[in-house]
Structure 1
Amino acid sequence: MDLEKPSATDPQQPPARREQPSAPEGCLVVAIRLPVRIVALVLVVPVRMVWDALVVSGRFLNDTMLRPLGRALLWLGRALFVWPFVGLWRYVVVPVAMGLAWLGNVLVVVPLVWLYRYVLTPVGHACAWLARGIGAGLGWLYARVLAPIGHAAMWVLRGLGAVLAAFGLGAFAVVAWLVRYLLVVPAVWVYEWVLTPLGRAIAWCARGLLWAVSTVLTGIGTALHWIGRVLFVLPALGVYGWVLAPVGRVLAVIGREIWEALGHAWRVAGRISLAVGRFLASLFRWTFVEPVRWVYRTVLTPVGHVVRDAVLRPAAEAARSVGRATRHALAGARESVRQARADVRRMLFGEPKQRETVDRREPLGRETRTLGSSTTALTKD
């Protein structure tokens, strides 16, 4: 408790609040007040001390344990998760990447650039210059050597042909007649009278042989077809038509009847199961649910209402009354403690200095104002 009174001469302190004049009190009130204040003081001071101790303990615990523990956990999390990855990235990954980039630049990029600039480019320029030189040389050789030689050879051959045509026309005619009657005419006769009939005979023989072979193969195929039909197809058709189809029809009828019987049995079993389920549900309802409901409705609910009306509500009202009385008692105790502190302060330091009254500048009564009178601070007489 703050028992020190602020000095009246201190300009920073606000002026003390004037004590309101209390109502006239009797001797009984004055006689009860002192014991009540003593009891309130005895009861409230330990509680306040315990509260202050708890507050101080909580602040001490927060400052000395919880906050350092949180900072330690934060630092530990950073030390275990953040700083290793940051250090790994900053001092391992980045330097290694920069070293690999520098090494790749020195070992790969720079040699390739030097090789392209000082080896491949000059070699390519030399090859291009050499190819251009070879092409120019071949063009010059064709234009200056081969073309003139070819033109000269053609001119010589045309000249020789003209000379031979001028001097050897009769010999050429004799040679042509001999070739015609010694080679062409016999060759045509041999083609028309020997080779053509012989070819036609060979073609006719080939067609006859092909027809005979195709006839034999057709007969063999027909025989095999009928043999296969008689030995395999007709028995298979007979077995299918006279055995498998009736047996299949019978089996289909049997399967359909079995399926329908199963479906009907499934539906009947569903109805029976539904009836049994309803019976069991009704049995459970009438043997357990309804008795429990009856007990709850006819026994527990009235008992609960009685307990609520006779015990709980009075207990709640009593608790609220006790709470209100406690609050009133605590309020009275606080007021008593406040009055006790004020009494102790007055006993130790005396009555507080009263503020000097200042004359009011406004008129006290309802006086009539005229043109010659004023109530302001500047024009008041």
Structure 2
Amino acid sequence: MDLEKQRDVRAPEGEGCLVAAVRLPVRIVALVVVLPVRMLWDALVVAGRVVNDTVLRPVGRALLWLGRAVFVWPFVALWRYLLVPLGQALAWLVNVLVVVPSVWLYRYVLAPVGRGVVWVLRAVGVVVAAVGLGVYRGLAWLVNVLVVVPSVWLYTWVLTPVGHAVLWCGRGVAWAVGVLVGGVGTVLYWVARVLLVLPALAVWRWVLVPVGRVCAVVGREVWDALGHAWRVAGHVSRAVGRFLVSLLRWTFVEPARWVYRSVLTPVGHLLRDAVLRPVAEAARSAGRAVRQVLASARASVRQARADVRRALLGAPKEIRPAPPAPVRVPGTQGMRK
């Protein structure tokens, strides 16, 4: 239904017989060609995702951590614990040995000397400016008399009339040349139009335009067929993928799940209830019995050691002998003194 809707939406109105004759074969051929490519593409996409999730990402994270450990962290430690303190020490030395003496030299030596030199230069400049102004005025008068006045007379009474005459002659020659060039251009225009433009226009109108329209229709149909075949191949590829997943599930996963749930789980519960729990309880009982026997033996040894000490050295008057420790006999619930 989806494919039919897409085909109905994409179909233009007023299609001719050429479109109908080209569309079906092109789409069949495109589907046959594109289907293996689409299935191969989907398989490569799935394999790429699996490889990316299981191999590339862990390897990339390991390489990233290794790169940080080998390249980043040593340089960070070198910068933080060696270069920064060394730079601070060098900056302090430069400030003490260069900047402070330079500021003192500029403030108390160079600045006063510079102010004196500027004052002297200003005085010399005033004198030089007065002399230069007189020389400039004299030279300006000479240039005006010797150059400017003769040049103005020459431009007004000689160059201007000659220029007007030359301009009038140039306009006449330009008009004659324009007329000649216009006539030649008109003749060449009609010759080129008759020999080149009209045949080229006929070829364009009666040959190239129909061929272009046919090629455009064929190209559009081929493009639409490739898109349609790619979508159909995608549906087919997904259906094949679902079939393979279902086959793998019902062939391996579900039997393994059934064996685990119906066979291994009851057998495990039976072994746990019939063998492991009684063995563990017996081991715990044996451990308790051994601990009780060892406690009784330690109490007996302490009592015997105390009796021997009293027999050899006598009991101290201030310290009363401790009562014997209660002894638990295995297999009884009460305590015996």
Query: Whose radius of gyration is greater, 1 or 2?
Result: 1
Higher relative contact order structure (alpha carbons within 8 Å, sequence separation ≥ 6): 1
* Superposed pair shares fold, TM > 0.5: no
TM-score normalised according to structure 1 size = 0.41
TM-score normalised according to structure 2 size = 0.45
Q: Whose helix proportion is higher, 1 or 2?
A: 2
